[in-house]
Amino acid sequence: MKIILINNLYGEYARGGAERIVQLITDELVKFGHEIVVVSTNPAIKSIKSKVHKVESQILNTKYQILTFYSWNIISYYNLGKLPKFLRPLWHLINIFNIQSYFKIKSILKKEKPDIVMTHNLMGVGFLTPLAIKKCGIKHVHTLHDIQLLHPSGLMMVNEEKKVDSFFASVYQWCNKKLFASVNIVVSPSQWLLNEHIKRGFFKNAKKVVIGNPTINNGITSVAPLPRNDSHQFIFLYTGQIEKHKGVELLIEAFADLKHDQYELWIVGDDSSKILNTRYQIPNTKYLGKKNHSEIQNLMRQTQCLVVPSLCYENQPTVILEAQQVGLPVIASNIGGIPEMIDEKFLFKAGDRESLKNKMKWARDNYNNIKNNIKIEKLDFLFVQNYIDRLLAL
């Protein structure tokens, strides 16, 4: 079967969990023997470019195509954060009705003639993409990753929930409901995210399913042993985007309230926004910079607890799945789809510094009990092989 996957960022321009999920799906589909073409935007290339990417798998000489193109707008999606805020409404208007991107996508579809198109984040690719797929008469599976069809920011922050139902957001949603009405199947990793779209009238004619994000099967059939806590230091780990909406500042401030001779905080991520400046030089805090997947997995085995302090409504954070896979306890904000992933006792009130601090103290004080329970608990991971089986069965 020939399958095209479309996502706004891919490969060297990947940033977050959605891109990692698309990479996992792509590699596994190739292993299954399908012919794969990945279509994505490129902030530098102003015409369609094609290159062959060798998949790192057990199957030698396995390859698939990557087609990247420059989607015309005021600035590329990759660099959208650099655009002044007063110009962003215009950028989003162009993104919805990007005719140039529509014709490029349509030309790729006509040339490649896929059996299925799987779309993911289309912000920056253009929201006319579903129309291009419909015009070519191809089956369309769309996977949700955030609320970018409900609000152009793609974010719903704690205490700012009403903005998703504002007049501006309602007009924005009306356009997107029309443009995405032709989708055949909608996949959501969390029931919360799917419900947010359904109650606003999206995807009325589509088959709607909840399938959790896949994880890599590294031969793990049960929870890996937790790291030993030989030192008196209890190490918390944060890994992800160093952005305000991820709650990094809240985490540092809560950590500052703890007794530093008993705790350490390791922060992993690219601080391109310069959030971690001199005012956050807290004792026993380590800023480790950007790390690759294997390095993060190694850090997870050296620490005692992962903290996910998001201020925005998360869908299904990949980092939680990865922590669970190596047996690392997770404490996280009680927001979005996160409560579907972890037990209530590991949740704290989103945006509440005192609640986060108390939960961090609780994690340390109850570590031995948590560790023993996780060792005997069977976690049902949706490995990428099973994910592909379920996806194609639709």
Asked whether residue 238 carries a pLDDT value surpassing 70, the answer given is yes
Is residue 226 one of the residues assigned to a domain? no
48, part of any domain: yes
The verdict on residue 103 lying in a domain is yes
Under 8 Å between Cβ of 238 and 307:
yes
- Helices and strands, number each (H, E), in the chain: 12, 14
CA distances for 298 relative to 204, 227, 291, 293, 303, angstroms: 44, 10, 10, 9, 9
- State the virtual CA torsion across 155, 161, 163, 166 in degrees, nearest 10: 130
CATH number, position 22: 3.40.50.2000
User: What is the average pLDDT across 166-180?
Assistant: 96
In a domain, residue 228? The reply is no
Least confident piece of the model among 4-18, 32-46, 316-330, 376-390: 376-390
Question: pLDDT value at position 378?
Answer: 42
> Do 157 and 275 sit in the same domain of this protein?
no
Classify residue 225: in a domain, yes or no: no
Checking if the pLDDT of 75 tops 50, the result is: yes
Which class for 259: exposed (0-12), middle (13-18), buried (19 or more C-beta within 10 A)? exposed
Residue 374: what pLDDT?
67
Q: Average pLDDT in the 59-77 region?
A: 78
pLDDT of residue 232: 64
Q: What is the tens place of the pLDDT at every residue in 88-102?
A: 999 999 999 999 999
Helix (H, G, I), strand (E, B) or coil at 302: coil
Q: Which of 112-126, 155-169, 333-347, 367-381 has the lowest mean pLDDT?
A: 367-381
* pLDDT over 70 (residue 363): yes
Domain that holds residue 176: 2-216+384-393
Same domain, 140 and 207: yes
Strand partners, 330: 306
- Same-domain check for residues 38 and 121: yes
Q: Are 332 and 239 found together in one domain? A: yes
- Is the pLDDT at 143 greater than 80? The verdict is yes
Q: What is the pLDDT of residues 261-312, one digit of tens each?
A: 789 999 998 876 676 765 567 788 888 988 988 899 899 999 999 999 999 9
Count up the domains in the chain and report the number.
2
Across the chain, mean pLDDT equals: 87
249 vs 252: CA distance, rounded Å = 5
Of 261 and 365, more confident? 365
Q: Nearest 10 degrees: CA dihedral of 20, 22, 28, 30?
A: -130
pLDDT, residue 142, reads 98
Residue 168 and residue 274 in one domain: no
227 domain residue, yes or no: no
Query: Does 33 share its domain with 165?
Result: yes
Q: Give the pLDDT of residue 277.
A: 64
Range of lowest pLDDT (51-55, 198-202, 314-318, 366-370):
51-55
Amino acid at 20: R
8 Å CB contact between 307 and 203 = no
The DSSP secondary-structure symbol of 60 reads: T
Examine the domain organization and report whether 206 and 261 are in the same domain: no
Place of tokens 């903290």: 307
State whether 184 and 61 are in the same domain: yes
Task: Please tell me whether residues 212 and 314 are part of one structural domain.
Answer: no
Q: Are residues 132 and 57 in the same domain?
A: yes
- Is the residue at 224 inside a domain? no
When pLDDT is averaged across residues 231-239 and rounded to a whole number, the result is 85
Q: Is the same domain home to 308 and 203?
A: no
Supply the pLDDT for residue 56: 46
Q: Would you state the pLDDT for residue 225? A: 47
DSSP one-letter string for 65-110:
EEEEE---SSS-GGGGGGS-GGGHHHHHHHHHT-HHHHHHHHHHHH
Same domain, yes or no: 183 and 325: no
Instruction: Inform me whether the pLDDT recorded for 384 exceeds 60.
Output: yes
Report the percent of the chain where pLDDT is more than 90. 57
In-domain check, residue 333:
yes
